[in-house]
Amino acid sequence: MTGRVTATRGNLPVELTSFIGRRRQVQDVKSALTAARLVTLVGPGGVGKTRLALRSATDLRRGIPDGVWLVELGSLQDAELVTKAVITSLGLRDELSRWPVSRLIEYVASKRLLLVLDNCEHLLDACAVLADALLREAPWLRILATSRQPLGVAGETVVQVGPLSVPDVDGRVAPDRIAETEAVALLLERAREAGAAFEVTWTTRPPWSSWPAVWTASPWRSSSRLCDFAPSAWTSWSNVSTTASVCS
């Protein structure tokens, strides 16, 4: 992701691909953040925690005067550097990179801002300690974290993130409605973005337990079948774009 939003304060990236579904969960996350000052989106890798966090935070940013600040921790290896990562993400690197945590607390104490701590799982303890310290001292601060496990901090609200909706496991969804399920909509969208248009063309409505259902390419690629998907593939959305490009 490259673009940065400039109209409001913060450093949230502009979404470069369409966001599919999850309307209710976006509302749930936003509501949770009005009631709790630490909300952690928890779920397996690739399920969509980061996208859900970014979409929810983007929706909220106009009501947050000191901005929404994303701290990407996925590539950070050293737990000692979590505080520095927050300082850097707040855009304070030049003046303040040597601030100890107490000075960071002092900085955020009077601010009304939302920190998005993304991908905390491998730095769980460091994230928990920092979140706890910041929340205790900064009364208007809110934190939205994503992690495979909860941070375990007092006052934390955990929102479990599951897979996008999939067609009924018994195959009861009518073929002409199947593209309305979130998982299939995402696959079709990514296939379109990859330059290939596809349609669902199964004739017999097989139960999901006996996939493959048949996905065929649009007429200009009519000889190539997109892919045969096992139902389990629908639970990991990091696979979708890869699968679409590999199979198209």
Ligand X SMILES: Nc1ncnc2c1ncn2[C@@H]1O[C@H](COP(=O)(O)OP(=O)(O)O)[C@@H](O)[C@H]1O
Write out the residues near Mg ion by the rule CB under 5 A. 50, 119
Which of the stretches 47-55, 93-101, 200-208, 209-217 binds ligand X when contact is defined by CB under 6 A? 47-55
The distance of closest approach from Cβ of residue 195 to Mg ion in the complex, given in angstroms and rounded to an integer, is 26
Beta strands in the chain (DSSP E): 38-42, 68-72, 114-118, 142-147, 156-160, 198-200, 215-217
132 within 8 A of 143, measured Cβ to Cβ: no
Q: Which is nearer to ligand X, 17 or 34 (CB)?
A: 17
Convert residues 154-193 into a mask of x (bound to ligand X by CB under 6 A) and - (unbound): --------------------------------x-------
Residue 76's binding partner out of ligand X, Mg ion, none, with CB under 5 to 8 Å set by partner kind: none
Q: Which two tokens stand for residue 34?
A: 């009005």
Closest of 193, 186, 195, 189 to residue 166, by C-alpha: 186
In this chain, which of 156, 237, 243, 244 binds ligand X, going by CB under 6 A? Answer: 237
Among 29, 32, 47, 173, indicate the residue that binds ligand X (CB under 6 A): 47
Alpha carbons 211 and 180: distance in angstroms, whole number: 19
Q: Return the SS3 of 97.
A: coil
How far, CA to CA in Å, does 140 sit from each of 66, 102, 239? 10, 17, 38
How far the first Cα of the chain sits from its last, in Å, is 24
* Among 235, 211, 214, residue whose Cα is nearest residue 226: 214
* 19 binds ligand X per the rule CB under 6 A: yes
Taking the complex as a whole, the smallest distance from the CB of residue 132 to ligand X amounts, in Å, to: 23
Q: How far is the CB of 44 from Mg ion (least distance, A)?
A: 10
Return the number of the residue (66 or 121) whose C-beta is nearest ligand X. Answer: 121
- Work out which of 45, 63, 162, 207 binds ligand X, going by CB under 6 A: 45
* DSSP structural state of residue 178: G
The span of 31-39, 44-52, 125-133, 196-204 binding ligand X (CB under 6 A) equals 44-52
Least distance to ligand X, CB of residue 205, Å: 26
Contact between 107 and ligand X (CB under 6 A)?
no
Question: Is residue 13 a contact partner of residue 1, using CB atoms and an 8 Å limit?
Answer: yes
Residues forming contacts to ligand X in the complex (CB under 6 A) are 17, 19-22, 43, 45-51, 146, 186, 237-238, 241
